[in-house]
């Protein structure tokens, strides 16, 4: 049966560890698999993208395949024809689909009706490829993930929700430092807190949130599709800016992370994003390797070294 990757929880902990190991092997050049030889992957993007689109297209090419960049303009998914019809037709041409759009339910519907694997390249709800890449970066730098205090400061958005899902698979201590008016998804939060795999907390005081952190992560205060709320969000979140004063409360070797693109000197200061603890460009690089690993696991490629 075909597999999709729409949410972190589509993979078991063992499968995620396999993704991390494949990612490491490809990054080190220990393996150079080409399972996509002669195949085409469709990359449907309804929102702007630098990292995700380019790392997917480069990744498909490195796995031996061809990528096809498809914007809303060409296919008008769900408007010109139903998502069902589009899913059936695309499945006759392509080996796999990656899709970035607004409603998570559109991606679920596409995956349900497609006969080929579908990968979530970001929705309003989740950004699972980003979070797997970030978890890999943390493991690279800290040599572990379990037990770390990972603090996310700012808007409760798709990145926050994806970290909450990561805490449903790994025993991390995930702290969301945010304003009561910018909370992450209530349902995912409830699930993670009930499952108790990792410990997930929401703290409204940025100083208390960041104390002794192993990782401090932030993202733009207004995500794509929400730019009209930028001023309102900035007013609610100004105390959650990642700056030198706040970073003094974290551990001295605390990693500073941001998925990028950043609005410099809004959610994070230049001094911190360009400072010695920042790993933002390693995160960006790892998107390439992790997405190749995700594609391999979805294709269940048995030729790979374990
Ligand atoms: N981090 C990330 O997904 O970047 P893009 O929006 O540029 O793809
Ligand atoms: N939360 C951001 C992430 C961009 C990679 C957005 O959705 O715009």
Interval 61-120: pLDDT, tens: 999 999 999 998 989 999 999 999 999 999 999 999 999 999 999 999 999 999 999 999
User: For the chain, how are helix, strand and coil distributed in percent, rounded to 5?
Assistant: 45, 15, 40
Residue ranges and CATH numbers for the domains of the chain are: 8-127+285-305 (3.40.50.1370), 130-283 (3.40.50.1370)
Ligand number nearest CA of 57 is: 1
What's the average model confidence in pLDDT over 190-214?
Answer: 98
Nearest CA owner, ligand 1 atom 4: 51
Q: Return the closest-CA partner of residue 192 out of 208, 173, 206.
A: 173
Residue 305 has pLDDT above 60, yes or no: no
What H or E segment, with its residue span, contains residue 257? strand 255-258
Ligand number nearest CA of 223 is: 2
Residue written as token pair 């690993």:
293
Give the DSSP per-residue string, 105-143.
HHHHHHHHH-SS-EEE---SS--HHHHHHHHHHHHHHHS
Tell me if residue 99 falls in helix, strand or coil: strand
Residue 301 has pLDDT above 70, yes or no: no
Cβ–ligand 1 distance for 130 under 6 Å, the answer yes
What's the average model confidence in pLDDT over 22-45?
Answer: 97
Q: How confident is the model at residue 274 (pLDDT cuts 50, 70, 90)?
A: very high
Is 153 within 8 Å of 217 (Cβ atoms)? yes
What's the average model confidence in pLDDT over 203-230?
Answer: 98
Ligand 1 geometric centre to CA of 55 (Å): 10
pLDDT of residue 300: 82
132 φ, ψ to 5°? -65, -40
Q: How confident is the model at residue 1 (pLDDT cuts 50, 70, 90)?
A: confident
Instruction: Calculate the CA 99 to chain-centre distance.
Output: 13
Give the separation between CA 134 and CA 131, rounded to whole angstroms.
Answer: 5
What's the average model confidence in pLDDT over 158-162?
Answer: 99
Contacts of 166 (CB under 8 A, 6+ apart): 8, 131, 135, 172, 174, 198
Residue 43 has pLDDT above 90, yes or no: yes
Cβ–ligand 1 distance for 161 under 6 Å, the answer no
Mean pLDDT of all residues in the chain?
A: 97
Residue 304 has pLDDT above 60, yes or no: no
Which atom belonging to ligand 2 lies closest to the Cα atom of 157?
Answer: 1
């Amino acid at each position: 049966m075909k597999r999709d990757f729409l949410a972190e929880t589509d993979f078991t902990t063992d499968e995620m560890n396999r993704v991390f190991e494949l990612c490491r092997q490809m990054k080190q050049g220990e393996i150079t698999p080409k399972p996509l030889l002669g195949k085409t992957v469709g990359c449907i993007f309804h929102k702007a993208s630098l990292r995700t689109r380019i790392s997917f297209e480069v990744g498909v090419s490195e796995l031996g395949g061809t990528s096809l960049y498809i914007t809303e303009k060409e296919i008008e998914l769900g408007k010109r024809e139903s998502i069902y019809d589009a899913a059936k037709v695309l499945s006759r041409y392509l080996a796999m689909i990656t899709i970035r759009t607004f409603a998570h339910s559109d991606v679920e519907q596409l995956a349900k009706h497609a006969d080929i694997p579908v990968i979530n390249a970001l929705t309003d709800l989740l950004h699972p490829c980003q979070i797997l890449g970030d978890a890999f970066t943390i493991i690279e730098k800290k040599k572990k993930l379990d037990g770390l205090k990972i603090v996310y400061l700012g808007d409760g958005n798709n990145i926050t929700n994806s970290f909450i899902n990561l805490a449903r698979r790994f025993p991390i201590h995930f702290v969301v430092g945010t304003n009561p008016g910018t909370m992450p998804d209530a349902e995912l939060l409830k699930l993670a807190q009930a499952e108790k795999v990792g410990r997930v907390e929401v703290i409204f005081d940025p100083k208390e949130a960041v104390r002794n952190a192993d990782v401090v992560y932030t993202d733009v205060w207004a995500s794509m599709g929400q730019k009209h709320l930028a001023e309102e969000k900035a007013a609610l979140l100004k105390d959650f800016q990642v700056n030198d004063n706040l970073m003094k409360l974290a551990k001295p070797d605390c990693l500073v992370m941001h998925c990028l693109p950043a609005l410099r000197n809004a959610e994070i200061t230049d001094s911190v994003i360009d400072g010695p603890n920042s790993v933002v460009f390693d995160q960006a690089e790892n998107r390439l390797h992790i997405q190749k690993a995700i594609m391999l696991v979805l294709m269940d490629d048995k030729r790979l070294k374990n």
